[in-house]
Chain A
Amino acid sequence: MSDDNGILLLLLMGPAGAVGLYWGLYRYYRNTDKSHAFERETAVEAKPVTGSDQKAGEIKGTRASRIPGDNVGDYRKRVKRVQDDSS
């Protein structure tokens, strides 16, 4: 069963390589993924970050290597916007 998977993965190498090269070169020529990296190119003066961390539970025996919906590096993916806080 797993042997079949290995062979399948090996056979996928060709199509994957073709798609990968096409995609990589297309972006290299057309630069559709580029934009102003304002996150790192703007002068920002920040006060120290404050906050709280509270343990909420444990997970046992998951097969996922990352938290589902990990967006720590996707600064530009907006999440639910809270308009005002009663604090």
Chain B
Amino acid sequence: MSNASRPPPIPPYTGPGYTGPGSPQDVPPLPGSFPIDPNTLPKPIRDELLAPDPLAIDTAAAELKDGLNRCPKCGATDIRHKPGSDLLICQYCRNEWHGVRVEEAYGLGTGIDQLKGRVIASGARNIQADAAVLMSFKCTGCGAEVTINTQSAMTARCHWCRHVFSVNEQVPNGAVPDALLPFHIKKDDAVARIRQFVSKRKMFALKAFKAEFTPENVIGVYLPYMIIDGNVSAAVAGQGEIETRRYTEGSGNNKKTYYDADVYELERQVDFTVDDLTLESSTERGNLDTRANTNNIINTILPFDTKNALKWNASYLTGFTSEKRDRDAEHLTPRLEEQLLSIARAQVQASVNQYNRGVRWEQERLDVHGTRWVSMYLPVWLYSYHQPNKKGGLLHYIAVNGRTGETMGSVPVQQWKLILAALTVGSILEAIALWIVANSA
């Protein structure tokens, strides 16, 4: 590899608290896993834990085949999105057709291993005619930015604070994305999924949350993301140990186990390409500090079937709100590189399985040969609940992926109830322990 193709050195990460303490730095647990065996818990708690989760389509498995790509029939401009599909309907001849898939139109799925340098799609500058009617507004309630298609709506409800506001205060409009994924999950379906999700988490939920729970208030939002393809090489170095002998010394209660081990210096390199890595391209959404917000909920419902993304057309946004992008490729590069390194570490893990005492990676290196950036609006159903507290409150989200139906949420907890339950279970365990001690003495 020639040095000329390498990007310049990476500046230190100065973005929002994604890497800070409290952010989800842990690799998330496998779906459905719970730290304690539910069978050991009292029946009411166990029933809640074992109730089924809302069903989600697995998009990791196969590409969805979504029917027609173009309509040869009609050239009219009065177009609506047909709910629950990728179809557009012509209001004149009632002809329905499928939007243009950017994957084929721009060749986004191919040539990732040939990528050099940074390729950025035209999303930011190549604004199409219908984009002019989109305007961004600053919510008078909370200051959030919401984009409206002014052709069909002049008022909107802020999905952050649920204020209803109208076209009074404007902020300069930002980027129009390259592509979007229309909602497939209809509102009724989203409401049902949220209801099912919360019904599994009722016993210790905050009383006010349960009293005010109205999933019908769920709002469909198009959130801005960067979809990134990358062609990279990574290397890691560290030490691994293989156990050679295990023996115990002493007897009775003084048994101690000792280990002998061989130590190895390890190096691993891997070249790989990633297809459609998805990053939040808004500062607010990209901040995943779980002490201050519940944006990690919206992060969890990724990924989307971005292979099916359609060319931008504001008609799809009718009836939905959206947030505009305020981060560009430069800002997101440090986070991208973090994720690429994480993927590299996951990729090399299988090659060090023989080190049964574990591996301590000490150094890692990443060479990004090429990346391709496409900005997209992705559909999310958001239900929010504001829990007041001394620091100004916490907004709890329950989010449904508008394509796959994957549902995740943060349900506020009634602390005294949870503590009481924990103390009760703890006391019972302690009583058993005391009984054993008393009987063995």
Contact = CB atoms under 8 A, between A and B. Distances in A.
Contact of A37 (B9, B27, B259, B364): B27
Contacts of B365: 81-85
A22 to B, nearest CB: 4
Contacts of A63: 256-259
A36 to B, nearest CB: 4
Nearest to B48: A28
Contact of A44 (B236, B267, B347, B427): B347
Contacts of A42: 274-277, 303, 343
Interface in B264-299: 264-278, 288, 290, 294, 296-297, 299
Contact of B422 (A10, A22, A47): A22
Nearest to A10: B433
B21 to A, nearest CB: 12
B342 interface: yes
Given A41-B303, A51-B269, A19 B422 contact: yes
B47 interface: no
Contacts of B341: 78, 81
Interface centre among B26, B297, B366 (most CB of A within 10 A): B26
A30 B26 contact: no
A47 B272 contact: yes
Contact of B25 (A18, A58, A77, A82): A77
Q: What is the interface residue range for chain A against chain B? A: 35 or more
Name A's interface SS. mixed
Contact of B259 (A6, A20, A33, A64): A64
B360 interface: yes
Contact of B36 (A15, A20, A62): A20
Contacts of B24: 32-35
B363 A79 contact: yes
Contact of A43 (B35, B274, B346): B274
Interface residues of B, number: 110
B119 interface: no
B429 A17 contact: yes
B288 A25 contact: no
Contacts of B201: 28-29
Contacts of A27: 35
B300 A58 contact: no
Nearest to A38: B339
Contact of A47 (B45, B271, B297, B366): B271
Interface in B402-441: 408-413, 418-419, 421-423, 425-427, 429-434, 436-437
Interface of A: 1-3, 6-7, 10-11, 13-15, 17-47, 49-85
24 contacts: A19-B422, A19-B426, A20-B36, A34-B408, A35-B24, A37-B28, A38-B277, A38-B278, A41-B60, A43-B274, A44-B273, A45-B275, A46-B273, A47-B270, A47-B272, A51-B268, A53-B264, A55-B264, A67-B357, A68-B360, A69-B360, A71-B360, A79-B363, A84-B365
Given A49-B351, A75-B346, 5 more contacts: A14-B433, A26-B413, A36-B301, A54-B265, A79-B236
Interface of B: 6, 9-10, 24-29, 34-36, 41, 45, 49, 60, 112-113, 201, 204-205, 235-236, 238-241, 244, 252-254, 256-278, 288, 290, 294, 296-297, 299-303, 338-339, 341-343, 345-352, 355, 357-366, 408-413, 418-419, 421-423, 425-427, 429-434, 436-437
